[in-house]
Structure 1
Amino acid sequence: MKRKKGNADRLTAGAWWSRNRWSCVILAAALVLFIVVRMAAVTFEQPQPRGDEYAEYETGVVTDILSDNTEADTVADGGYRGEQLLLAQVRSGQYKGETMQVYNYVGPLYGQPLKVGQRAVLLISTYRDGSHTATVYEYDRAVGLAVTVGLFLLATVAVGGKVGAKSLVALAVTLVCLFWILIPLLMKGASTLLTVFLVCAYITVVTMVILGGVCRKTVCAALGTVAGTALALLFGLLSQSLLRIDGLRLTDVEPLLQLRQTGTPLGLRGLLVAGVVISALGAVMDVAMSISSALTEVHTVAPDRDGRALFRSGMNIGRDMVGTMTNTLILAFLGSGLSFIIYLYSLGLDPRQLISSPYMATEVISGIASSIGVILAVPLTALITSFILVKDKKPKAPCGSKPEDKKLPKEVQ
């Protein structure tokens, strides 16, 4: 019996490898590529020694309130103003365990009153003579962030099961690529648009393989996503040229301009369209996978449909998605700038003044170019999927299905 069980285990492992070998090969190649690019993206420098005077950010806990003159300001919608003198015990760094007097400066736009027992991030300044002082930098949000992220992970796995867990892995890959590959490459002077597009294509391939393995459905979805993202990039460049505006007119580009003046060869002009491509990637990927998955199911049930019929089915499915997805993208961009929109509305600007403002131009490019990527991903994915599926008249089980699911229902047969 033990021998039979061992043979069954080996057969199961062999079957798993047979179904997933290409996924493993592609993910292994992607990992090697990631390591190579990461090594090229980062310039290893020796850590610079600290000078005679330096500042550190450490955690601390409020143990006592010595004075407090903070009060709510009705003009600032109940925001607090004033300052506190606190006793705080340092919980990290070279001064761990020491109790210090710290000032907490509070205003409507920064800081908040603290209570005994609350944690805060302390800015500790050390001087040449060895003395040191501390002020409250901000409320310590590490625990709150951990709880929020934990609830998100729990909900994703609880509702999505294995697919939800895979989506979290794909999300982690996306974040690592953005922060460990894209930004370091841009900081070293790599071409902004080309680098962003290649990183997005890499994220697309790895994400699709993680979620669905290597099969026709994921191949079609990946190709549709890359094509839709490329068109969003091209339309963004066209809109940028027509409106005569680029990344130099972004509202938060001034610190980056100062960074260039210190010698960092960061390309600023392409940042506007680069942001469009990154923001559109998730929506385009969603649309492409939905259409590819739906057409694969249609082909599995009705393998006699020709490519034209499959394309029409994909377009019918995609039209229902375009309206809501486009609305989602536009509202996302408007929602991110809601406070500034309210400010502009309060000024009572002339329509011509508003239309010609850089803010309006950048928002139009961001919202519409992203939507164009989603809209054009529909026919592109439908065309690619129908072309690939009609080559094989024999229906195959969708990705991730069990062998016994390959049989069609009797009424279809």
Structure 2
Amino acid sequence: MGAGHSHDGPPPRASERTTTILATLVGLILFATAMGAAAVWPNDFSFRGSVPSIPDGATWVGATIATVNSDGTATAVVHGEEARGARNIATLGDPTIVLHVGDKVRALELTDGTLGFSDFERGSPMLWLFLLYVVVVVAVARWRGVGALLGLAAAFGVVVFFTIPALFDGRDALGVGLVTGSGALFVLLYLAHGPNARTTTAYLGTLAGLSVTAVLAWWAVGASKLTGVWTDANTQMEFSDRGVSLRGMVLCGIILAGLGVLNDVTVTQASAVWELRAARPDLGWRQLFVRAMRIGRDHIASTVYTIAFVYVGAALPTLMLVMLYGQSLGITLTSSDIAEEVVRTLVSSIGLVLAVPLTTLIGALVVAGRSIAHEPTARGGPEVVAPAPHPS
């Protein structure tokens, strides 16, 4: 056969072998995830609603601010009780609460009819923002966006109905974090990107990065003596009295915090390998790996400082508070308030960086010499690729 003579694709046995290997790996991972879930599955769900949030006989009501006086006092009309007129609403002298006429607020109504300000009503603007988010995602990403939103909802269900109850039940935090990550990623990736070799490559790469993150987090939390202690002593007592490990919460939080960024990097790298293969079907796995890593290095560089700024933004109030005190930079960064964010950033970044070459290598090995003429592209349509030439 001449070097330029085309054919219908690689030998069927080679393609079937690749598919079988990928399916076997995913099957083993899902089996291990199911076994891990069974081992750390929570048995006690009595924690839900076990702490009363309001005094006996009191009720939450919605109200609209009717008047605001110069001395800071205000009146409000309770929704559904407009005929009763405006009543005084107490803010307990909190200077951070600034009320304006027409503000929608949530108040606590005591048995004697007294109203106490609790918070502003934010339901309507947040609902509109969420609807805008859904519309934008679906309009731009279309069915992939719908799958991503469904996967996100399912992943949050895993956290709410498995992860949090398991931590309250005193289960091993490392196992809970790994099971949550593996299960949530499977649902997210395959709903958003479909069941194909590209998605499986991203899934395996993400799990590899997640495993690195989990091991590093387990070591770093112990070596750095991160206790999970913060300033709200009452909240700490609520967790401690229920047998919840504060250090375990930190460990599980670090593992889960890296999922989103890891997923972003691995999906992008898998797509890069597939697109390179589509453009240059003559490239072997080594060339695919080298070329895709050029893209991966740029992605690493941008994502590393993205992670850092995400955590800086989340910890900004704490950073500002720490800066009020006359301490050296070294003491500040290693203080209990900041050290947890620093460790989380470093561990997540290391896992992210290592996930890029691992995903790229998996993708290059999977796609090299394999016909991808019928696999969906990142744009949702079929790829039409000239097959790699056979040696004569």
Which TM class, normalised by the smaller chain length?
0.7 to 0.9
Within-5 A mapping of 1:336-375: 336-375=314-353
Residue 109 and residue 152 in structure 1: after superposition, are their counterparts in 2 closer, same or farther (change >3 A)?
Answer: farther
CA shift at 1:305, angstroms?
A: 2.5
Q: Which amino acid counterpart does residue 228 of structure 1 have in structure 2?
A: G
User: Which residue of the other structure, out of 62, 72, 78, is the alignment partner of 1:89?
Assistant: 78
Aligned to 1:229: 210
CA shift at 1:53, angstroms?
A: 3.4
User: Which residue of the other structure, out of 303, 319, 322, is the alignment partner of 2:300?
Assistant: 322
Within-5 A mapping of 1:88-237: 88-91=77-80, 99=85, 101-105=87-91, 110-115=96-101, 117-126=102-111, 131-237=112-218
| CA distances 1:254-304 after superposition (whole Å, capped 9, x unpaired) | 444311453x22122122232222121111001100111111222234334
Q: Does 1:394 align with 2:371?
A: yes
Q: Does 1:266 align with 2:212?
A: no
CA shift at 1:327, angstroms?
A: 0.4
- C-alpha contact 1:296 1:389 (8 A) present in aligned 2: yes
Which protein, 1 or 2, shows the higher relative CO under an 8 Å CA cutoff with sep ≥ 6?
A: 2
CA shift at 1:235, angstroms?
A: 1.6
Q: Provide TM-score, normalisation by structure 2.
A: 0.79
CA distance in 1, matches of 2:133, 2:198: 28
Residue 252 and residue 206 in structure 1: after superposition, are their counterparts in 2 closer, same or farther (change >3 A)?
Answer: farther
Q: Provide TM-score, normalisation by structure 1.
A: 0.75
Residue 90 and residue 302 in structure 1: after superposition, are their counterparts in 2 closer, same or farther (change >3 A)?
Answer: same
CA shift at 1:331, angstroms?
A: 0.9
Overall identity of the aligned pairs, in % = 20
CA distance in 2, matches of 1:167, 1:103: 44
Residue 401 and residue 236 in structure 1: after superposition, are their counterparts in 2 closer, same or farther (change >3 A)?
Answer: closer
CA shift at 1:122, angstroms?
A: 1.6
- C-alpha contact 1:57 1:122 (8 A) present in aligned 2: yes
CA distance in 2, matches of 1:204, 1:152: 21
Aligned to 1:54: 57
Tell me which moved more, 176-185 or 322-331: 176-185
**SS of residue paired to 2:373:** coil
Aligned to 1:246: 226
CA distance in 1, matches of 2:378, 2:251: 39
Residue 121 and residue 306 in structure 1: after superposition, are their counterparts in 2 closer, same or farther (change >3 A)?
Answer: same
CA distance in 1, matches of 2:151, 2:262: 16
Residue 204 and residue 41 in structure 1: after superposition, are their counterparts in 2 closer, same or farther (change >3 A)?
Answer: farther
**SS of residue paired to 2:347:** helix
Residue 224 and residue 39 in structure 1: after superposition, are their counterparts in 2 closer, same or farther (change >3 A)?
Answer: closer
Aligned to 1:68: 69
Aligned to 1:281: 259
Q: Which amino acid counterpart does residue 88 of structure 2 have in structure 1?
A: V
CA distance in 2, matches of 1:318, 1:233: 22
Aligned to 2:19: none
- C-alpha contact 2:138 2:145 (8 A) present in aligned 1: yes
Q: Which amino acid counterpart does residue 373 of structure 2 have in structure 1?
A: K
- Richer in strand (by share): 1
- C-alpha contact 2:47 2:168 (8 A) present in aligned 1: no
Aligned to 2:17: none
CA shift at 1:403, angstroms?
A: 11
Residue 247 and residue 174 in structure 1: after superposition, are their counterparts in 2 closer, same or farther (change >3 A)?
Answer: farther
**SS of residue paired to 2:201:** helix
- C-alpha contact 2:198 2:274 (8 A) present in aligned 1: yes
RMSD: 3.5
| CA distances 1:355-385 after superposition (whole Å, capped 9, x unpaired) | 4422342222011111111101011111222
Structure 2 spans left out of the alignment, 5+ residues: 1-22
Q: Which amino acid counterpart does residue 259 of structure 1 have in structure 2?
A: E
Residue 138 and residue 47 in structure 1: after superposition, are their counterparts in 2 closer, same or farther (change >3 A)?
Answer: closer
| CA distances 1:21-55 after superposition (whole Å, capped 9, x unpaired) | x9xxx9xx99xx8xx9899566369999x999332
- C-alpha contact 2:176 2:252 (8 A) present in aligned 1: no
Aligned to 2:274: 296
CA distance in 2, matches of 1:204, 1:217: 14
- C-alpha contact 1:232 1:372 (8 A) present in aligned 2: yes
- C-alpha contact 1:41 1:188 (8 A) present in aligned 2: yes
Q: Which amino acid counterpart does residue 62 of structure 2 have in structure 1?
A: T
Residue 253 and residue 405 in structure 1: after superposition, are their counterparts in 2 closer, same or farther (change >3 A)?
Answer: same
Aligned to 2:8: none
CA shift at 1:148, angstroms?
A: 1.8
- C-alpha contact 2:269 2:359 (8 A) present in aligned 1: yes
Q: Does 1:407 align with 2:384?
A: yes
Q: Which amino acid counterpart does residue 385 of structure 2 have in structure 1?
A: L
